Amino acid sequence: MNLLDKIKNIWPFGQSHKMRAIGFERPLSIDQPDAFVEKVIPRPQPDKDELLVKVLASSVNPVDTKMRANYAHSGVFRILGFDAVGVVVEVGQNVQHFSVGDKVYYAGAQLKPGSNAELQVVHEALVGHAPTSLSDEEIAAMPLTSITAYEILHEALCYDLEENSALGHTILIVNGAGGVGSVLIQLAKYIGMTVITTASRAESVTWVKSLGADYILDYHQDLNEQMRKIQHDKVDNIAILQNTDYYWPLATAVIKPFGRIASIVETTKPIDMGPLKNIGAQFSWVFMFAKGNYGVNMQSQGNALNQVARLLDENKIKTTLSKTYHGLSVENIRAATKEVEAGRMMGKVVVKYDEQ
């Protein structure tokens, strides 16, 4: 029996026009009883360029917590979840690269209903064929962070994702133990970079070492001095994955002439770009949802996921899964979200929908 037949036995999607979903209606504290609610809602229908996917697992990202905290449509049910692995159960008439029964993974689009539901509609350009050698939960940990890490390396820092193509180049990754950092360390090592990252807790240091980091700096101590001690007082590239305001002075002090800096974290006050001018250094924002939000170059994300799937199957990189909850439920979405909100996550936390 193939995967699609097994899913039909568990959940007869062809016989129902409804589905279960976990979402929220108001930006409540995570500890309040109605922070998340379960509803039975109409089954979504794919448009001509979309897939309908039976979701098998999803993960929680910081963007989920930010969107919930800033929600302005009180009383309107909103489904979060911007990572998924699942099986295609229906395709739109213009879909070219996927068929019913394909196992896929994706982050989806920020402005569309998310993956904390039994079914989800997603544009085929944003979707990749899932790795074949990993479990559902291991796959679900990867899409959003992999796309973000890929866009940092390829689009902001201008490297091709080819083995040892960046030998002799250096990168400083601020917050290497987080979801994006955990993938970025591995991809940077794959292309041959010397990787310097920040971590402090013993478990975080162990985690980033296991991913291949060459040097680990304690962000509670003077970072400039630590970089001088490891004889890397200047670097070719910097990825700021935490608190851009705080780390900007460091970034402008240690970037090499004609180096590149990328950040994924919004600023809360103006930052001084002046120090970059006379050294010809570049700065880029990376926000992986921008492509889906504006319909620009979306296929690049599907292509990136296919490339990452190959690296995972070839054991060139590994999943960043660190914890799994079992069952699509209010309790599990709440617990996983609470861990992300605490700001101490290493890797990713996933909810697998196998026990409902």
Q: How many CA atoms lie within 13 A of 158 on its CB side?
A: 10
pLDDT at position 344: 81
Which is it for the CA torsion 177, 178, 179, 180, positive or negative? negative
Q: Which DSSP symbol is given to 154? A: I
The position carrying tokens 């890929």 is 150
Helix (H) or strand (E) holding 38, with range, is strand 37-42
Q: Where in the chain is the domain with CATH 3.90.180.10?
A: 3-144+296-352
Rg (CA), the chain: 20
Q: Which CATH class is domain 3-144+296-352?
A: alpha beta
pLDDT at 345: 83
Phi, psi at 300, each rounded to 5°: -60, -30
CATH code 3.40.50.720 region(s) in the chain: 145-289
CA proximity to 169, closest of 284, 260, 242:
260
Cα(157)–Cα(178) distance, integer angstroms: 20
SS3 340: helix
Sheet bearing 194-198, strands edge to edge: 215-217, 194-198, 170-174, 235-240, 255-263, 282-285
Instruction: Report the distance separating Cα 304 and Cα 149, nearest Å.
Output: 10
> Is 0.75 surpassed by the pTM of this model?
yes
The reported pLDDT for the residue numbered 189 is 98
Task: Return the CATH fold of 145-289.
Answer: Rossmann fold (3.40.50)
Buried b / exposed e along 101-135 (16+ C-beta atoms within 10 A): ebbbbbbbbbebbbbbbbbbbbbbbbbbbbbeebb
> 126 phi and psi, to 5 degrees?
-90, 5
pLDDT value at residue 153: 98
Q: Name the one residue in this structure whose structure tokens are 């996927």.
A: 98
For residue 343, the model assigns a pLDDT of 82
Closest of 175, 107, 149, 137 to residue 344, by C-alpha: 175
- Give the torsion through C-alpha atoms of 180, 183, 187, 193, to 10 deg: 70
Per-residue pLDDT of the chain (356 residues; tens, 9 = 90+): 566 565 554 455 555 689 999 999 999 999 999 999 999 999 999 999 999 999 999 999 999 999 999 999 989 999 999 999 999 999 999 999 999 999 999 999 999 999 999 999 999 999 999 999 999 999 999 999 999 999 999 999 999 999 999 999 999 999 999 999 999 999 999 999 999 999 989 999 999 999 999 999 999 999 999 999 999 999 999 999 999 999 999 999 999 999 999 999 999 999 999 999 999 999 999 999 999 999 999 999 999 999 999 999 999 999 999 999 999 999 999 999 999 998 888 899 999 997 54
Crossing angle for the helix pair 179-190 and 202-211, nearest 10 degrees? 30
Q: In this predicted structure, what is the pLDDT of residue 315?
A: 97
Sign of CA dihedral 318, 141, 144, 335: negative
- φ and ψ at 201, to 5 degrees? -65, 150
Two structure tokens written together for 5: 């037949």
